[in-house]
Structure 1
Amino acid sequence: MRGNKFMGLLCAATMAASLFTGVGTLGADATESVTAVTGDAQSLGTPLADVRVRQALAYAIDMDTIVDTLFDGKATRATSFTSPGEWLNTDIPVYDYNPDKAKDLLSEANWDPNYTLDVVYYYDDQQTVDLMTIIQQYWSDVGVKSQFRKLEGDLAAQLWVPPTDMVNGPSEVKWDLAYAAVAALTESEFYNRFASTASNNSTVPKQDGLDELIEASNSTMDKDEQIAAFKKIQQVVAENVLAMPLYHQVCFIYTSSDLDMKGNPVGNDQFSYEKNILDWNINRDDHTLYTNGGPQEFFWYPMVNPGYMLNTELLFDKLIDADESLNPTDGMLAESYEVSDDNKTITFHLRDGLKWQDDEPLTGDDVKFTIELMLKTPGTNAVASEAMSCITGAQDYKDGKTDDLAGVTVDGNDVTVNFDKVSANALQVFSQWPILPEHCLKDADPNTLQQNEFWQHPIGSGPFMVDEVVLNNYCTLKRWDGYWKKGTGNIETIYEFASGENDSNLVKNASAGKIDYAWSKSTDDAKAIEALDNMKVEQANIRYTRCFYINQFPHEPNIK
């Protein structure tokens, strides 16, 4: 019955597509129930300041049916920004589809049926348009009018400029709700934006107690302490509907019947995690594994996204490792490491005898060089940049006041990193961003690092090394005998077809038996590949959440 209702809604909403113009106060203890802003929805500067209106909008959407039908079950309904797993607070309020409850809440809030919600989005794909159309119809069913429009131009200026007054506004953005996505390495990327001091908080007024909860989540490197802190924040966000998570995109991992991963789990392939690829077996006489992500114009440098291409994690090692959920685990280049009691010092103990693939020694100086390079390279990933900026002396080094980064010291195999303040995500950064060779890049200009000739044929420290490269066609990687870790598998060569993350030839190559391992976030690719007899498709939960941000500051929507 749900599927039939959904199709009815889609048909009805499609007929109404002309409506598109483009295609609370918290208690002192935030673990207890909170008191959100209520009153007459029309007297609060914006009706969305009333928590009952925000709750009603959530109750009115049947996301379970949308996931099952529009997404063919290839997504996960979101009850929180946090995806399913150990970080998710399963006790938070869940707004299951209940149109009668939505109507009651709107009535209690004295909702004005003549008010039209101004909803913006910025994606071009048909699936987004279909989703917006369906949600528009769901809201119409409970008596809420809405207009949807696609933003063009400078999105940051139209979406994420905070008001000068974070208590009373008025808003610097002119919409009611914005459909957006957050693809995150760490949980903080979901929740730091709700702080009253966040540079991208354009929607949530300062909440008593919330800044303190967010600060607590950022004051420790301990995973268990972080989980506990984020679960408290999730409770506040859900009870007050500070934003409306809709669904989690998943990562699709494709493996061929010729590949035996020896029981190693699949995970979040947007970033790097320990796949133990040296233990994998391939059922081919030439011991070659086929994949995609080979260089087009160059091998991607790792400053922005170290997991963008599989070859990055095959060519370069990190200081420490991460599991399939991206939690930092044991040492990698560092045989071991420890964090001080105050969380302001990390000491890495490098393995003996490390070397680069050109037989030059890999030392603590390479570690310090890489950290300094990350600080000076424009556009370095925000999580990495923030973590590195907390290192003692980082600002003076970035400003050119010193030639040496004081907070990183090298003593033989020991590298010590000192922080002025706790950098909660430092371990995640050191588990993702690889160490780079100083002897190859010491003269590179940080401002044009990607254009350096090194990225035409890079030299790394990982289990595979570059063999043959034909840019924009293919490359081959060969198993490196000098790697510090030996494996039990038989893969000797990895053949990579040139492609970006969105590989237009993925299905064609998989159909031809020329893909043994790959990943994407494309539901169309997943549907096509799972129909192939020689391929297996698995889903992995990732930190990638689609949502509505809800503008709770006084504003005048841009209604046409």
Structure 2
Amino acid sequence: EGVGGLGFNTNEWPFDDIEVRKAFSHIWNLEKLMDKLFFNEYVGTNSYWPWSKYEHPDNPIQDYNPDKALQILNKAGWKKNLDEKWLSKDGKQFEIDMYTYAGWDRIHNSLVNDLESIGIKLNLVVIQNPFEKYIQKTFTMHYGGWTGRPIPDPDQSLHSKYADDIDVTNATSMANKTIDSLIEAYEANWNFDERVQIMQKIDSVSTREYHFIFGWAAPYGWRGLYQNRFGMPERGLSYGSNRYHKHWGGWANHILLWWSDPEKKELLRQARQSDTMSLPIDRELIDYWNKLSK
């Protein structure tokens, strides 16, 4: 998996203030979104390289805590009087726009409501291609993400030399000298274990810059219906594109790795001819990452 979620334009108001970004990491009720809209099919992430060896185990937790978010904003100078609905600072109301795709309001309306509850007005602006605004850095806040790679390349997405460029994966304008130094050390090091440690440090520093409210991802490689006549491997497959099948598998690789089990096939034949016979249900989840245990 690659990084995904709500990315901020840190070169522009109001997200040029790290305290505002930090507050936003406690504003969106993702657990409610998972339960009410996504049927608990997804799991929240908390890293630039979620569920991989490169994820730092002590990244700051981004949980739904509106009281904490409001406390951070108040400390940063955002206030509202008892007769006011919206927060303001230096006479400017906290109102922002977010470009979104047609139909995505069903997801982002919950964010609108969560922000409104603490005094922030979010306007959803439907356009044909929000990603173009994102990559051109003419956005305020954008929901989206990047695919992962078998061997991470943090240079393009996190090095400060791309912070002011457009059409780059460093669309949030990350510019941190510590991250730059770690990236350069990573690229000069050919020891695999040491590279993993460096990547974890990069993840730790990057997450503490709060350029993303991390979103959600599917902790599985495939969902589908199938006849109960197949044998299958003990472990599941993660998601991957055609290009990377040799590294970690693709969503259709079950077709290659499952096999027709003669005993199951015969039982299925008998069950089809019987009005009373039922077949045992095989395990429906292969939860290799232990992300769906709840």
Normalised to the residue count of structure 1, the TM-score between the two structures is 0.38
State whether structure 2 residue 126 is matched by structure 1 residue 160: no
49, 64, 68: which is aligned to 2:35?
68
Query: Are 1:252 and 1:539, in contact at CA under 8 Å, matched by a contact in 2?
Result: no
Check the 8 A contact 1:78/1:245 in 2, yes or no. yes
Return the match for 2:195 from 226, 229, 234: 226
Give the secondary-structure state (helix, strand or coil) at the position aligned to 2:194.
helix
**2:16 aligned to which of 37, 42, 49:** 49
Aligned residue in 2 for 1:180:
144
The CA RMSD measured in Å over matched residues stands at 3.6
Q: Select which of 175, 178, 192 maps to 2:156.
A: 192
Q: Shift of residue 160 of structure 1?
A: 1.5
The residue type paired with residue 284 of structure 2 is K
Could you tell me which residue of structure 1 aligns to residue 236 of structure 2? 266
Q: Does the aligned pair in 2 maintain the 1:58–1:244 contact within 8 Å? A: yes
1:98 to 20, 40, 65: 65
Q: Distance in 1 between matches of 2:259 and 2:12?
A: 66
Name the aligned partner's letter for residue 117 of structure 1.
I
TM superposition shift of 1:64: 2.2
Is contact 1:217-1:226 (8 Å) kept? yes
Q: Does 1:206 align with 2:181?
A: no
Q: Deviations over 1:64-84 (max 9, x none)?
A: 222233211111111123222
User: Are 2:218 and 1:249 equivalent residues in the alignment?
Assistant: yes
The answer to whether 1:215 aligns with 2:184 is: yes
Question: Which residue among 61, 80, 100 is the counterpart of 2:47?
Answer: 80
Q: 1:306 to 1:322 in 2, by over 3 A?
A: closer
CA drift at 1:233: 1.3
1:323 offset after TM fit, Å?
5.2
**Unpaired stretches in structure 2, ≥5 consecutive residues:** 1-9, 79-86, 163-167, 262-268, 270-280, 290-294
Closer/same/farther in 2, CA of residues 538 and 148 from structure 1, 3 Å limit? farther
Letter in 2 for 1:140: E
Aligned counterpart for 2:284 among listed residues 503, 528, 536: 536
Structure with the largest fraction of strand: 1
Q: Tell me the residue number matched to 1:306.
A: 243
Aligned-partner Cα distance in 2 for 1:222–1:213: 14
Mark the CA change 1:267 to 1:220 in structure 2 (over 3 Å): closer, same or farther.
farther
Alignment of 1:2-17 (within 5 A): none
Alignment-mate amino acid for residue 146 of structure 1: L
Instruction: Give yes or no for the alignment of 1:117 onto 2:88.
Output: no
Corresponding residue of 2:275: none
How many Å separate the matches in 1 of 2:282 and 2:100?
38
Structure 1 residues 323 and 201: CA distance shift in structure 2, 3 A: closer
Deviation at 1:187, TM superposition (A): 5.9
Deviations 1:462-513 (A, max 9, x none): xxxxxxxxxxxxxx99xxxxxxxxx9x9769xxxxxxxxxxxxxxxxxxxx9
The 3 A distance-change label for structure 1 pair 148 and 262 is closer
- Does the 8 Å contact 1:257/1:535 carry over to 2? no
1:46 to partner: Cα distance: 1.8
Residues 1:118 and 1:261: Cα distance change in structure 2 (over 3 Å): same
Q: Identity of counterpart residues, as a percentage?
A: 18
Contact map agreement 2:23 2:72 (CA 8 A) in 1: yes
Pair 75,219 (structure 1): closer, same or farther in 2 beyond 3 Å: farther
Alpha-carbon shift at residue 133 of structure 1 (Å)? 0.5
221 and 213 in structure 1: CA distance in 2 versus 1, 3 angstrom threshold: same
1:252 and 1:538 in contact (8 A); partners too:
no
Any idea what the Cα deviations from partners look like across 1:150-205, whole Å, max 9, x if unmatched? Answer: 3325844x2223xxxxxxxxxxx332111112222236367731212333323225
Is the contact made by 1:59 and 1:98 (CA closer than 8 Å) also made in structure 2? yes
SS at match of 2:213: strand
Change (3 A) 1:59 1:214: same
Q: Is residue 149 of structure 1 aligned with residue 120 of structure 2?
A: no
CA distance in 2, matches of 1:189, 1:75: 26
CA deviations over 1:328-363 (Å, ceiling 9, x no partner) = xxxxxxxxxxxxxxxxxxxxxxxxxxxxxxxxxxxx
Cα–Cα, structure 1 residues 86 and 110, in superposed 2: closer, same or farther, change >3 Å? Answer: same
Unaligned runs of 5+ in 1: 1-36, 38-43, 162-172, 272-304, 308-312, 314-320, 326-475, 478-486, 493-512, 514-532, 542-560
| Distance in 1 of aligned mates of 2:184 and 2:99 | 30
What SS is found at the alignment partner of 1:536?
coil
- TM-score with structure 2 length normalisation? 0.69
SS of aligned partner of 1:120: strand
Highest Rg: 1 or 2?
Answer: 1
The question of whether the paired residues in 2 share the 8 Å contact of 1:268 and 1:540 is answered with no
3-state DSSP of counterpart to 2:160: coil
Label 1:91 to 1:259 Cα distance change in 2 as closer, same or farther (>3 A): same
Equivalent residue of 1:80, what SS? Answer: coil
- Measured after TM superposition, the shift of residue 269 of structure 1 is 3.6
Structure-2 change in CA distance of 1:110 and 1:206 (3 Å): same
* Residues 510-537 of structure 1: per-residue CA shift (max 9 Å, x gap): xxx9xxxxxxxxxxxxxxxxxxx68935
Q: Aligned partners of 2:109 and 2:54: how far apart in 1? A: 32
Flag the 1:221–1:148 CA change in 2: closer, same or farther, 3 A. farther
Question: Does the 8 A contact of 1:253 with 1:538 survive in 2?
Answer: no
